[in-house]
Amino acid sequence: QTLTNTLRNHYAYHDLIDQKETVLGLLLKSVARGNETETPAACDAIGLIFITLGPSAEDLRDQTLSSLKTALGSSSPSPKTKAKILQTLAMAEFVTGDSVETIETLDYIGDFFSDPHSNPTLIEGAITS
């Protein structure tokens, strides 16, 4: 608890709280564009937002998961980029979801990998990232 409070005070937690919808919206737009350089960086930043805000980011969860799932469904991202999106999806769910929501997301991720059209590079990228 003390470590969490120290990190929050040191890493502009309060500034992020005030701007969380704006910052997250911009990052989700970056993910939606599907750029191979921009998307992984945006995913890393989204993950950091969820880690920084912790359970207080629950109000951002639905919008984020929906946008990430949409990005996964598009044909443009490479397998490594899709792996990064899956990692971000799992992280956001882990930080904010309850047990039922987490199981639903894990089922979604499992279905994604069990799809017979899944690219082996996607699975390799998810494992190594």
CA dihedral 94, 54, 128, 26 (to 10 degrees): 110
List pLDDT tens digits, range 85-127: 989 998 898 888 888 888 888 888 888 777 766 666 666 666 6
- Contacts of residue 98, defined as CB under 8 A and 6 or more positions apart, other chains included, come to none
Q: Tell me: pLDDT of 75 over 90.
A: no
**Two structure tokens written together for 29:** 């737009």
Quick one: what percent of the chain has pLDDT higher than 70?
74
| Rounded average pLDDT over 70-74 | 87
Q: Tell me: pLDDT of 7 over 60.
A: no
Place of tokens 């937690």: 13
Q: What is the pLDDT of residue 3?
A: 58
Full-model pTM: 0.76
Ramachandran angles phi, psi of 92, nearest 5°: -60, -40
Q: How far apart are CA 59 and CA 69, in angstroms?
A: 17
Radius of gyration (C-alpha) of the chain in whole angstroms: 15
Q: What is the pLDDT of residue 53?
A: 81
**Two structure tokens written together for 6:** 């120290």
CA atoms within 13 A on the CB side of 29: 6
Sign for the pseudo-dihedral over CA of 69, 73, 76, 80: positive
More confident residue, 14 or 99: 99
Q: How far apart are CA 26 and CA 102, in angstroms?
A: 25
Q: What is the pLDDT of residue 2?
A: 62
